Amino acid sequence: MHRSLPAVAAALAATCALVSGCAGTGAPKSAGRTAGASAPALLWPDRTPAPQQSYEPNSAERPEPVRGVPRVPSGDMHQVSALAVAKAKVAAMTGNLDEDGTNRKIKECRVAGRKPCPVQRPEYRDLNGDGKDELLLGVESGKTFLFLWGFTAKDGVVTQIMDAGVTPLSVELAGHDVIIREPAGSGGYTLRRVYSWDKRLQAMNERVIEYDESRTTR
């Protein structure tokens, strides 16, 4: 049985379009040659590479139990007084946070987040991905400096997992990350620091530090 002429023409047109992208009214046309992908070019391949460096985390980034705070068997940091944690942290210190009397001001605090208490309103976020919130505290010192402290309940013990001193333009939470933006000293840019959970250290670690375009807030 022979096919009809229109059917044959339609079949040929379809084959032409699939195989060669035939030009014609309504038919697809070539957009030209695509630039080929190229692998990174290694410069000075004969140069001796630097030796692998051993990893030495900052002492402030090692988990540290906080003495003087009741145990938290449930692991729920919402059940712990944020102000009590800040005061216990200061009481356990061998020196002062600064020369502005921040230690004394914390000891005299009655309510976190209310002036003249330097301890900011407590924030809660799951930083280590275990499904439970950690406690994040900001402690003001002077006009621009901020001590950033993070705490978790490890086996029922309140443990500090973050201790950073920054001069932030902003402090943000994104997923499990703490993002700090600071003045960079370069026009049009800010310094961006990202602290993330380090499973090996069992603490928050500075994962990213980079320059970023300044953002204008209104």
In a domain, 37, yes or no: no
The answer to the question of residue 205 being in a domain is yes
pTM, two decimal places = 0.72
Q: In degrees rounded to 5, what are phi and psi of residue 78?
A: -70, -20
Greater confidence (16 vs 86) lies with 86
pLDDT band at 22 (very low <50, low <70, confident <90, very high): low
Could you list the residue range(s) of the whole structural domain that residue 144 is in?
A: 59-213
- Is 18 inside a domain boundary? no
Q: Which residue reads 């009741």 in tokens?
A: 70
Structural domain includes residue 112: yes
**Going by C-beta distance under 8 Å and a sequence separation of 6 or more, which residues neighbour residue 38?**
none
Q: Is residue 29 part of a domain?
A: no
Q: Which residue type occupies 135?
A: L
Within a domain: 152: yes
Domain count within the chain? 1
DSSP code per residue over 89-133: HHHT-SS-S-SS-HHHHHHT-SSTTSTT--BPPPEEE--SSSSSP
Whether 30 maps to a domain, the answer reads no
Residue 10: pLDDT over 80: no
